[in-house]
Structure 1
Amino acid sequence: MTIRKRLYLTLEPTEKGGIIERIFEFFLVSIIILNILAVMLDSVEDIRGKYDTLFVNFEYFTIIFFTVEYIARIYSIVENPEYSDPIKGRIRFMTRPLAIIDLLAFLPFYFVFLDLRFLRIFRLMSLFRLFKIARYLHALKIFKKVLTDRKEQLILSFLFILFVLAIISFVMFYAEHEAQPDKFSSIPATMWWGIATITTVGYGDMVPVTALGKFLGGLFAIAGVGLLALPAGILSSGFFELLHVDRPKEIKKCPHCGKDIHE
């Protein structure tokens, strides 16, 4: 086996590998999690002042590690028959969403020296490192498949929610505008109240005071529970079908003769 082939098998989670691949996968996922934890702790002033040098050194290590990993992926991807062409294959791979995320995980930090005022903005780019973990989580692949299979039903349910939101905001505006012109100043402003109500958040910054407004608000609050249950039910049924219905039935065998048992 060539070094490039071994490198490809190590970096690509969809390929079956041995202990080396498992160790690298665990190490990479650990680095990603530690990165997000470091960004969170760095926002705490007391911790940042005490361990600032540690955070900086870990950031340098991470940038170098992800840079080498990205170059290695580009170099070894030609081992995949889909990207076998040395130039066109690598270019096609580099334009994939996950490859772009890999690039954004480290590239912006090379431009920090241009202006230190943008350092905190570039720190937000660390979130792209969290997305790198997607290729190693089977659960995210299942979630993506469910979203793909149920996208039409989900789109229709969200459109229906927006339709109801627009209607109730239109009616609520005319019910409350005269009593509270500063709060319910327009239909788009009233839609903020509708969003807070339909999600049962209820910030309390916009509250109906008229009798009609309270009546409509109560109806919308109750209806909101059922409306938000629509996409949740679609997703749950999609997960159930994917995890249970599509799974091949297990054939029981006789413990004595070893033949299949048919019910």
Structure 2
Amino acid sequence: MIKTKIYRAVEKGSHGRRMNVVFDYIIMSLILLSVISIILESVPEINSKFGYQLRIFNIFSIVVFSIEYLMRLYVSDLTHPSTTRFKSYLKFMFSLQGLIDLMALIPFYLPMLIKIDLRFLRVLRLTRFLRVLKVNRYNNSLNLIGAVIKEKKPELLVTGFVTFLVLLFASFIMYYVEGEKQPEAFPNILATFWWAIATLTTVGYGDVYPVTGWGKFISGIIAILGIGIVALPTGLISAGFMDKIGKTKQSNECPHCGKDIENRIP
């Protein structure tokens, strides 16, 4: 069946066909080239010389992505099964990947359908960069990172909440310590929150800094705390990532020969 062939081409799975691998590499290459073209368009010298070629390439990539989107919509009853085909269409269209695909296409087609403010259109064109997020569909490593973050979600939420409390506490203290001496730098707690973020992450832009003795002491404490607090989510994700890689490798190995089962493409 045509639908089965399209499904095997656009969707990864246990079927593992060479056609799927070729399709993946073509789309991934086109996504990366599209992002490069967006970057080149922002360079006036390059855009003035090769603007026409870049626009032609953009049209070509939009056509390919549109065909890919329609193909995925066509097999949505297989990828997003539901009671009716229409519901399967909706499930795909409102899924994360479906929305990313659609948002990457909208800036090209919208001006053809309705008259729109050109200033708004320029902002909307930035969503073309969402094409790079489509790579997530074709890259096992990115999917693995997503799975790790999902698995470590409770720990990351707790770490994020503790970080927010430390930032808020530091902002309160620094506002009352430095507010009178530097009313322009620490005018309110909300503005002081920016200083707390720059200090806790140890970025230290230097645009806002304490001048009093107590302020410098508190700033030093916050900077030292930041080294440990910022490292916590990094350590959690790294540990989870290594654990996930080990489990994935172990599950993909054949119990008899020890070879990678996933890489066998008939």
Which residue of the partner structure matches residue 64 of structure 1?
Answer: 63
More divergent stretch after superposition (103-112 vs 195-204): 103-112
* Aligned-residue RMSD, C-alpha: 2.2
Task: Decide whether the 8 Å contact of 2:202 with 2:226 is kept in 1.
Answer: yes
Which residue of the partner structure matches residue 131 of structure 1?
Answer: 133
Which residue of the partner structure matches residue 257 of structure 1?
Answer: none
Deviation (angstroms), 1:228: 0.7
Change (3 A) 1:175 1:39: same
Structure 2: runs of 5 or more not aligned: 257-266
2:232 counterpart (223, 230, 233): 230
1:195-251 per-residue CA deviation (whole Å, 9 max, x = no partner) reads: 001111111111100011011111111111011111112112211222226754979
Task: Decide whether the 8 Å contact of 1:77 with 1:84 is kept in 2.
Answer: no
CA distance in 2, matches of 1:248, 1:234: 21
Task: Decide whether the 8 Å contact of 1:199 with 1:228 is kept in 2.
Answer: yes
Letter in 2 for 1:39: I
Change (3 A) 1:119 1:245: closer
Is 1:196 matched with 2:198? Answer: yes
1:117-136 per-residue CA deviation (whole Å, 9 max, x = no partner) reads: 44422321111211111111
Task: Decide whether the 8 Å contact of 1:208 with 1:214 is kept in 2.
Answer: yes
Change (3 A) 1:81 1:184: closer
CA distance in 1, matches of 2:146, 2:220: 36
Q: For residues 88-237 of structure 1, what are the structure 2 equivalents within 5 Å?
A: 88-113=87-112, 114-115=115-116, 116-237=118-239
Task: Decide whether the 8 Å contact of 2:6 with 2:71 is kept in 1.
Answer: yes
Task: Decide whether the 8 Å contact of 1:175 with 1:213 is kept in 2.
Answer: yes
1:138-188 per-residue CA deviation (whole Å, 9 max, x = no partner) reads: 011111111111111100001101111111111111111111011111111
More divergent stretch after superposition (106-115 vs 64-73): 106-115
Structure 1: runs of 5 or more not aligned: 254-263
Letter in 1 for 2:37: A
Number of residue pairs the alignment of both structures matches: 253
CA distance in 2, matches of 1:222, 1:154: 20
Percentage of identical aligned residues: 36
Which residue of the partner structure matches residue 258 of structure 1?
Answer: none
More divergent stretch after superposition (99-108 vs 46-55): 99-108
Moved over 6 A (4+): 249-253
Task: Decide whether the 8 Å contact of 2:8 with 2:19 is kept in 1.
Answer: no
Higher relative contact order (CA 8 A, sep 6+): 2
Which residue of the partner structure matches residue 262 of structure 2?
Answer: none
Task: Decide whether the 8 Å contact of 2:80 with 2:92 is kept in 1.
Answer: no
